[in-house]
Structure 1
C-alpha cells in the first residue's frame, strides 16, 4: 500500500496541475489586469480536485463530509486570501513573472496544508 504522504503528494500534484492550467488559460484569455480573478478562479478549481482526492484517497476519511468540507473550506478561504495577497506582492511589487509567482504561491500554500489536513480536517480510518 502506498504511504499516505505519497498519496498526499500525488493528490496535491493533480490539484496543482488543474489549478495552474486554469490559471494559465485565464491569464492568456484575460490578461494581467485580471490577476486576482484568475488566481481566485483557478484556486477554486484546484480546491474541488484537492478536497475530493484528499477526502477519498489520501486520508480515506470516514468523517462527516459536511463538517470536513466546512473545515476545508475555512482553510481554503484563508489560503485564498493569503495567496491573492502574495500574488499581488510578488507580481506588482517584486516584479516576478506572473507564472513564476503563481508557482511560488502554490508551493507556499502546499507547505502548510498537509499538517493541517491530517490534524484538523479529515478523520482517517484506522491503519490508513
Structure 2
C-alpha cells in the first residue's frame, strides 16, 4: 500500500454502511414497508385465486387483509419503532385506511373528470396520499406517548 492508498483507505463508505444508513432513514423504511405490503397482498391474491382457485372476491379480501396486517406491523415495529399501546394505533390506522380509500376514489375520479388519464391520476393520488400517510403515521397513528 502506498501513501496515496492509505490516504484514501476508509474514506469511501462501505456498501454495508451505506445500506445501514439508508435503512436507518424512517422515510425509506416506510416506503420499503409499503413495497413489502404490496408484495404480500399481490402474492396472497395469486396463491389464493391463481393457484388455489378461491373465488376472486374472497381471495381479494384475504389478500388485502394480509397486506394491511403486514403494513401495520412493519410500520409500527420497524419504520416508526412504536411501543405505544396497539389498540388505539389499530383504530387510528383503520381510520386512515378508510380515509385513504375514500380520498383515492374521490381524487382519482375528480382528476379523470378534469381530463387526466386514469392511471396517471391514480399515480398522482398515490404519491400525494403516501406523503399524507407518512405524516399521519408519524404524528398520529404511531406517535410515541
Q: Do the two structures share a fold, i.e. TM-score over 0.5?
A: yes
The within-5 A match list for 1:24-103 is 47-91=68-112, 93-103=113-123
Q: 1:8 to 1:17 in 2, by over 3 A?
A: same
Higher relative contact order (CA 8 A, sep 6+): 1
Shift of 1:44: 6.6
**Could you say which structure has the larger radius of gyration?**
2
- Kept in 1, the 8 Å contact 2:29–2:79? The answer is yes
RMSD across aligned positions (CA):
3.2
| Mapped partners of 2:119, 2:66: distance in 1 | 17
- In the alignment of these two chains, the number of paired residues is 107
Unpaired runs of 5+ in structure 2?
1-19, 47-60
Q: What is aligned with 1:4?
A: 26
Q: 1:110 to 1:45 in 2, by over 3 A?
A: farther
After the TM superposition, which parts of structure 1 deviate over 6 Å for at least 4 consecutive aligned residues?
41-45
What are the superposed Cα offsets for residues 66-125 of structure 1, whole Å, 9 maximum, x if unpaired? 21010111122122211110111122x123332222211111101122222111111459
The within-5 A match list for 1:8-27 is 8-15=30-37
